[in-house]
A and B are shown apart, each in its own frame.
Chain A
Amino acid sequence: MAVKVRIPTPLQRLTQGQEEVDGTPGTVIALINDLDKRFPGMGERISEAGKIRRFVNIYVNEEDIRFLNAEETVVKDGDEVSIVPAIAGGAKQ
């Protein structure tokens, strides 16, 4: 049993439309780096210099990793990881 990674609609073009892919157990940042090897381009869209980008949220078993151990949060077999980019804009010119 692997880690279940839920891919958001905007990034599914990198996974050929797959909504869910397998991830490797370990830290969240290691999991993202591993995803990038299999789905090139994924890493830079989610993280920068080892940190999760400001406009992307990651949840492990529905817990926001900002309230866990951030990028170093450990995921294990059977855990579910959701990658959820923010939707943003506004009136500011």
Chain B
Amino acid sequence: MTQLLIRRELLNEIIDHCKEVYPNEACGILAGRGGIIKKIYRAVNVDDSSVTYRIEPFQVLKNLKQDGLEMIAVYHSHPHSEAYPSLIDVERASDLDSAYVSIYVIVSLMHEEPEVRAFATSDRKVREVELIVS
């Protein structure tokens, strides 16, 4: 995937979530069908931390299935750093055993204006994915 298309209101839902749990990291799932994002599922950051996140996705996966949607990407916030995958992001995403998807959306809240970028991570390599907001 080289592009990720998202509607403005769904992107705003993600940003609102990240602001609400600031200074902790927010996390959740972008879900849809046929590569088109239809819905944002907020998740609980089990780590309850400002520097890491962990989603235990049993319930959210059940909700997705009930809604007939599939996971397209995972989002999380970087409250105090750039919207770029950290070492821990890359390591965890490259760990095939926990990689449900390869696309990660990161929201940085370090500046006044939130910055959102998307990345494909595999094999410890990071590639930016164009985020197209409509």
Contacts and interface: CB of A to CB of B under 8 A. Distances in A.
Contacts of A82: 58
Contacts of B74: 87
B89 A57 contact: no
Given A57-B58, A84-B61, A90 B100 contact: no
B52 interface: yes
Given A9-B100, A10-B100, A93-B87, A87 B54 contact: yes
Interface string B68-106: 000100101011110001111100110011111000100
Nearest to B90: A89
Interface in A1-52: 8-11, 13, 45
A70 B33 CA distance: 36
A92 B57 contact: no
B81 A87 contact: no
Given A92-B86, A93-B87, A10 B99 contact: yes
Nearest to A58: B58
A11 B57 CA distance: 15
B56 A90 contact: no
B84 to A, nearest CB: 10
Contact of B53 (A55, A59, A64, A89): A89
A87 B55 contact: yes
A92 B98 contact: no
Contact of A89 (B61, B79, B80, B93): B93
A84 B88 CA distance: 20
A8 to B, nearest CB: 7
Interface of A: 8-11, 13, 45, 55, 57, 59, 64, 82, 84-93
29 contacts: A8-B100, A10-B98, A55-B54, A55-B98, A84-B56, A84-B61, A85-B98, A86-B98, A87-B54, A87-B100, A88-B53, A88-B54, A88-B92, A89-B52, A89-B85, A89-B88, A90-B25, A90-B49, A90-B51, A90-B86, A90-B88, A90-B89, A91-B25, A91-B50, A91-B52, A91-B86, A92-B51, A92-B52, A92-B86
